Amino acid sequence: MKLLFSTRDLEIGGRPVEGFPLLIDDECMPLQPAQNFLLHALLESGSMRSKLTWEAVGRRLYDYFAFLNANGLAWDQTNAPIGASPLSRYRDWSAGELKLAPRTINKRLSLVVRFYEWASQRGYIASLPFSDRQIRAHGKHGMLAHVKTGGATVERASVLLREYRSPIKFLTNHQVQVCRQHLHNPSHRLLFELMLQSGLRSCEARTFPAKYVFDPAGRKGLVEGQVIRMDLSPQDLSIKFERPRSVDLPWRLMEELNAYKNLERELRKSRGGGDPDALVLTAYGSEMARTSVVGLFGELSKRVGFPVTAHMLRHTYATYTLAALRKSPSFMGEPLLYVRDRLGHSDVQTTAEYLHLINQLEAQLVLAHEDFVDGIFGDGNAA
C-alpha cells in the first residue's frame, strides 16, 4: 500500500483539493473505509483545514494500516483476546520495537481510536476493539484526543498509554556557538539562525518567502538596530493551523537574510531554472523539503556530539526571550503574552511551561545567554 498526496487535479465538491492524503491499497484502489474517514475528518472539520494537519493525519493513519498490512492483520477484527487486538499490537510494536515516546504513540492511537468510533457509528464494525476508563481531568487535550468530559473526570480509551511530560529541551549559549561553528552550508546556517532568533517552526522557516526580505537600511521609518515586526500570512508560507501571526526579526538577522537573498540565493536559483517563493534554497535551486530539514539536524547532532532539533531552537528562543523580558525594565508589555503571540500559541498555558522552566534554571545559565537576547531586544522596540 502507498500514501500519496493529491495535486490540484483532484476535485471534491467542485473545487480543487491539493495536498489531501490518499491511502492506496495493494490493488491501487482507495483503501476503504479509511479513505472515507479522512474525507469526513479533514474536509468536514473547520479546525483541520491546514495542509500540514492533513499531512500529519494522513501519515498517522497510513502508519497504522501499513502495520496491519505488513503483519497480515484485519482492521475490523474486534473480537481478539484482551491485549491482542490489532490496535493493541500496533501500540506494543510502537513502544517496544520502535521505542517511540508515549506522547508520540498516543497521538497516533488517538486518531485510530477516532477512526474506529467513526466506523462503529456507520455500521462497519459491531463493537469497538477497546474500552474506556475514567481518569481525573487535568491539563488540555489535542483536537484528535479521545476524550469525553464529565465533571472532574474524563473517559479515555484504555489502549492509550500513560504520559509523563518530558522536560523542555533547549540549547545553552555554548551549544549555540558550537552549532554555528559546524554549520558551513549557507542555507543550513540561515535556517538555524531564523529559527533560533525568531522562534519560527521548521515548516515556517523553510517556506519563509523571499519577498518578506529587504534591506533594513533602505527602508523608511526604521531606526538602525531596532527589531523589525514581520506579519506572517498563511497565503505566503506554511503556518500551523494556517493562523496568521507576527514575529520580530533582529536588525542584523534581516541584514543577513537580505545578503543571502541577493547573492547565495540567486546563485542557487540559477542552477534550478525555476522561480521558487521560499527564501532558503537547496544547492540545486529548489525549496527545502521537510525530510531535508530533519536530516540536516540529524547530521548536525552527530557533528557536535549532542542532540539538536529544529524544535529545540524554538524552545531556546522562547526560554531566553521570556527570561530576558521579565528582567527588562524598558519592556512595557506582558512578557508571557508577548512570547505567546510570537510563537503562535493558542493557549497561554502552553507558553507558561517556559515560565516554569525559567524558575528552575540556575541564575548563571540565564545570565550566560544574555548576549544572545541582548542582540534581539537590547536597543530597540518592535517595528
Nearest to 187 by CA among 171, 210, 170, 169: 210
Q: What is the phi-psi region of residue 323: left when phi exceeds 0, alpha when psi lies from -120 to 50, beta otherwise?
A: alpha
> Considering the domain boundaries, does residue 177 fall inside one?
yes
> For position 241, which CATH number holds?
1.10.443.10
Task: Output phi, psi for 22, to 5 deg.
Answer: -125, 120
Give yes or no: residues 84 and 211 share one domain.
Answer: no
CB 375 within 8 A of CB 251: no
pLDDT digits (tens, 9 = 90+) for 290-339: 999 999 999 999 999 999 999 999 999 999 899 888 888 888 889 999 99
Summarize the confidence of residues 236-258 as an average pLDDT.
94
Distance CA 330, CA 240 (A): 32
Q: Which residue has the higher pLDDT, 380 or 84?
A: 84
C-alpha cell at 81: 483476546
pLDDT at residue 51 greater than cutoff 90:
no
> Considering the domain boundaries, does residue 146 fall inside one?
no
Give yes or no: residues 206 and 353 share one domain.
Answer: yes
pLDDT digits (tens, 9 = 90+) for 26-46: 999 999 999 999 999 998 866
Distances (CA, A) of 79 to 69, 86, 130, 179, 241: 19, 10, 10, 53, 38
Give yes or no: residues 118 and 206 share one domain.
Answer: no
pLDDT digits (tens, 9 = 90+) for 82-94: 888 999 999 999 9
Give yes or no: residues 121 and 186 share one domain.
Answer: no
Q: What torsion, rounded to 10 degrees, do the Cα atoms 91, 92, 95, 100 define?
A: -30
> How many domains, in total, are found in the chain?
2
Give yes or no: residues 86 and 219 share one domain.
Answer: no
Domain boundary among 92, 127, 162: 127
pLDDT at 380: 42
Give yes or no: residues 206 and 305 share one domain.
Answer: yes
pLDDT at 365: 55
pLDDT at 329: 87
Q: Residue 88's domain spans which residues?
A: 2-127
pLDDT at 368: 55
Give yes or no: residues 201 and 301 share one domain.
Answer: yes
pLDDT at 143: 42
> Considering the domain boundaries, does residue 150 fall inside one?
no
pLDDT at 145: 47
Give helix 348-360 / helix 310-327 axis angle, nearest 10°.
80
C-alpha cell at 139: 491539563
3-state SS, residue 155: strand
Domain boundary among 127, 158, 191: 127
Q: How confident is the model at residue 224 (pLDDT cuts 50, 70, 90)?
A: very high
CB 43 within 8 A of CB 19: no
Give yes or no: residues 328 and 185 share one domain.
Answer: yes
Distance CA 383, CA 381 (A): 6
> Considering the domain boundaries, does residue 162 fall inside one?
no
pLDDT at residue 14 greater than cutoff 90:
no
Question: Over the chain, what is the mean pLDDT?
Answer: 87
pLDDT at 8: 87
> Considering the domain boundaries, does residue 183 fall inside one?
yes
pLDDT digits (tens, 9 = 90+) for 88-122: 999 999 999 999 989 899 999 999 999 999 999 99
Give yes or no: residues 106 and 196 share one domain.
Answer: no
> Considering the domain boundaries, does residue 156 fall inside one?
no
Bridge partner list, 246: 231
3-state SS, residue 231: strand
Domain boundary among 89, 107, 127: 127
3-state SS, residue 251: helix
pLDDT digits (tens, 9 = 90+) for 136-172: 655 554 444 444 544 556 778 888 888 877 788 999 8
Distance CA 345, CA 341 (A): 6
C-alpha cell at 153: 473526570
